[in-house]
Chain A
Amino acid sequence: MKQNKNPLKKRKYRNGFWDWLCIIVLCAPAVLHLLIFWLGVQIETFELAFTNQFTMEKGWDNFAWAWKQIFSDVGNNNMGLAFRNTLTFFVMGMTLVPVTMFFAYLIYRKSIGYSFSRVTLYLPGAVGGIMLALLYANLMSSTGPVMEVVKDVTGNENMASLRFTDGMLYIMIFDIFVGIGGNLMIWLGSMARIPKELIEVGKLEGIGPFTEFRKVVLPLIWPTFVTMITLQVIGIFGATGSVLALTGGTNGTNTIAFWMYNMVLQGLTSEYGNVAAVGLIFTVFTIPLVVVGRWLMNRFGEEVEY
């Protein structure tokens, strides 16, 4: 009997030669990448974490060092501070999720000047965080226009830039400013998929924009909301804000992710083992969050049929 070569029909893998070749060719780049650059990096991370970089002996030395450091409050840029800063950026990121969603709804519901807002709020995504960070740094410098106004208002001519007086606040103002537009497109894309008829029915019933948001839009974009929140939760220890672009970790703005990046950037090969150990400890901390996250996604993240 002649075999049916239709790969789209649900059958038990009765693929012909060309079907298998197609599968292999299409999967090869991603699977090879996963094996070399994902699995390879995991193996290398464990190798580094369990190797003392001075004696090259295997053991738990790096973990012992890392565990002490995580709770240390010694020095200006200690790991305890980095941990607290990371949590601060995480809370900021979580807060931005619903705020961005509401901004997107205002634009979706055609608020005044919505076309302009839609394009301009995505500007940070287009022109790049580094450029806006440079503009912001100059605006906020001690001789910049913003500080001039602050100096005039407070009457303090010798006032230093916020970068030096409160580095975290300096970064957070910038991150909130540019972060609003960050996921705007994903929200707008999700809202654009809502069938117009549902919105029209609501309008005919005479419901206002806020009721429409609560009763029609939010339930339909709920899977996107759950996904965005869950991704924030599981990325908790990677939260780092614009530390690299704005302060380079100085003035009390170090974070865990920045510390790890900086160790490698500085070429401190002797610290690689410690970096890997710190990372693995935080990965273990993340596992309960991942379990909760998966449960959330499977329980509430299911696609709504419409």
Chain B
Amino acid sequence: MAKRHLFRKGSRADNRLSEIKKNGALFNILGLIPLIWGTLFVLMILWGFGVSITDEDWYLDHPSSIIPLKLDFSNYQKAMEKFVFESYIDGELVKTNYFTLILNSFWFSFGMTATKMISTVFFAYAVARLHFPGRKFLYVFVVLQMMIPVYGQTAANYQLLDNLGLLDSPLFLLGQGAGHGMYFLIVYAFFRNLPTGYAEAAQIDGAGPFTVFFRVMLPQARPIIVSLSVMQFISAWNSYDVPLLYLPSYPTLSTALYLYKDNMFQLGLSTPTYFAGMLISIIPVAVLFLVFNKQIMNNISIGGMKG
């Protein structure tokens, strides 16, 4: 008897269905776990969104309600007005409004990304492709340095930044251009595996080393650079511990959210207003993630670390 098909034979849906059937029952059941797990994340964020549009008084009476029955979209406006970060710098009260918090988040994240990526890409290319004494040593050193985590450096780092005048200043970013670490290994592996054909053709045409790097090699590395930059930007945007410790006069949105989590009521913020402020803060990174998620997922991989 001919096999019955739920969808048109040979169609995408039909192929997908037969693929699922071939995987077997156990695989399909286990495969539901990531799906459920991911759904829980989405539900959690939807719940947060629900709270952010709930009427403040109604929320006070129903704090455990999952579905908001009385809505108030003005919480978002209130969040931007009321979300004022107060801190004492050298004994003086300093107030930072919501827009300055956003501005701080932007320059901090852009600065962290730019310094880190420039340093990493330059260094990884030089070690991977250029010939000079000590390049093997530099590679082994970077791997070893990753493998020997020297603990207790927070105090020393703080003291050093203070001595150099980089503490609590945008100049702090100058010290964040570490060209080593995991990103180095990813970019290094990329340049090592990149075919030399285009670079050699450019050299035959008389291109110098800078032209080869900036006009031939760098454009080929664009997908991986974009992926890592987006990841670094997102990580810097969400970082609250670094600005909290090293940039107390320049609080970012993440720092403010962290510090307000336990004393929002003292500052006259209700939970819905607080949640509204929190959700606005994720818009830039959510947009970046949605735009670049495929690119990030297709370009990031690490292998072994011999050294």
Minimal Cβ-Cβ distance residue in A for B299: A189
Report how far A53 CA is from B241 CA in the complex, Å.
25
Number of interface residues of A (CB under 8 A): 123
Contact check, A37 vs B234: say whether CB atoms are below 8 A apart. Answer: no
Contact check, A6 vs B200: say whether CB atoms are below 8 A apart. Answer: yes
| A297 partner residues in chain B, CB cutoff 8 A | 304-307
Do A276 and B120 contact each other (CB < 8 Å), given the known contacts A111-B32, A125-B234, A134-B257?
Answer: no
Contact check, B132 vs A23: say whether CB atoms are below 8 A apart. Answer: yes
Pick from B45-53, B73-81, B83-91 the stretch touching chain A.
B45-53
Contact check, B64 vs A302: say whether CB atoms are below 8 A apart. Answer: no
Mask, A181-205, CB within 8 Å of B = 1, is 1000110111011000000000000
Shortest Cβ distance from residue B113 to the other chain A in the assembled complex, whole angstroms: 14
Query: A208 contacts the other chain (Cβ, under 8 Å)?
Result: yes
Report how far A136 CA is from B132 CA in the complex, Å.
52
Mask, B229-248, CB within 8 Å of A = 1, is 00100100110110011000
Report how far A70 CA is from B47 CA in the complex, Å.
42
B158 touches which of A13, A49, A190, A264 (Cβ 8 Å) = A264
Shortest Cβ distance from residue B120 to the other chain A in the assembled complex, whole angstroms: 7
Do A119 and B45 contact each other (CB < 8 Å), given the known contacts A26-B122, A134-B261, A223-B304?
Answer: no
Residues of A39-61 whose CB lies within 8 A of B: 40-42, 44-45, 47-49
Report how far A302 CA is from B306 CA in the complex, Å.
7
Work out how many contacts link A and B, with CB atoms closer than 8 A.
Answer: 359
| B39 partner residues in chain A, CB cutoff 8 A | 116, 120
Query: A98 contacts the other chain (Cβ, under 8 Å)?
Result: no
Query: A275 contacts the other chain (Cβ, under 8 Å)?
Result: yes
Query: A8 contacts the other chain (Cβ, under 8 Å)?
Result: yes
Mask, B246-285, CB within 8 Å of A = 1, is 0000000010011001000000000100010010011001
Query: A252 contacts the other chain (Cβ, under 8 Å)?
Result: no
Residues of B203-218 whose CB lies within 8 A of A: 203, 208-210, 212-213
Contact check, A30 vs B37: say whether CB atoms are below 8 A apart. Answer: no
| B119 partner residues in chain A, CB cutoff 8 A | 29-30, 33
Residues of B12-51 whose CB lies within 8 A of A: 16, 19-20, 23-24, 26-28, 30-35, 37-42, 44-45, 47-48, 51
Pick from B1-9, B96-104, B290-298 the stretch touching chain A.
B290-298
Query: B157 contacts the other chain (Cβ, under 8 Å)?
Result: yes
Contact check, B301 vs A190: say whether CB atoms are below 8 A apart. Answer: yes
| B210 partner residues in chain A, CB cutoff 8 A | 18, 22, 25
Query: A76 contacts the other chain (Cβ, under 8 Å)?
Result: no
Shortest Cβ distance from residue A24 to the other chain B in the assembled complex, whole angstroms: 9
Mask, A293-306, CB within 8 Å of B = 1, is 11001101111000
Contact check, A33 vs B175: say whether CB atoms are below 8 A apart. Answer: yes
| A6 partner residues in chain B, CB cutoff 8 A | 200, 203
Q: Most B CB atoms within 10 A — which of A11, A138, A177, A226?
A: A138
Chain A to chain B contacts (Cβ below 8 Å), 30 pairs = A8-B203, A19-B209, A27-B126, A30-B180, A44-B156, A48-B155, A48-B156, A111-B28, A112-B35, A124-B41, A127-B45, A131-B278, A132-B41, A144-B64, A181-B41, A185-B297, A190-B302, A260-B151, A260-B154, A264-B155, A264-B158, A277-B152, A280-B150, A282-B151, A283-B148, A283-B151, A286-B151, A287-B148, A301-B304, A301-B306
